[in-house]
Amino acid sequence: MHDKKFVTRREGVKLAREQGIPLSIGRVNKDSMNGIGPQPAGRYGPTFLYRPEEFLRYSRARSRPTFRYKHRPSSSW
């Protein structure tokens, strides 16, 4: 699946998109600033590094299933 031990945020987004998860770098940056992004495994200079499994876990947690109604809900307005 992935052969790297660590990925950057951009590589993590690319990895998530390859898995079919529509994730953007902007979303990851915002979530990271708010403390709900993927947990970094380390740093190399100013760059945060992530384990690919952790990044995919985060991206799967960000996505949610869509629900379909069996019938159209009635509006009682």
Average pLDDT over residues 33-42: 94
C-beta of residue 39 within 8 angstroms of C-beta of residue 52: no
- Encoding tokens for residue 69? 């109604």
- Encoding tokens for residue 73? 């809900």
pLDDT at 42 over 80: yes
- Confidence band for 76, pLDDT divided at 50, 70 and 90: low
Q: Which of 68, 69, 61, 51 is nearest to 7 (CA)?
A: 51
pTM of the model: 0.76
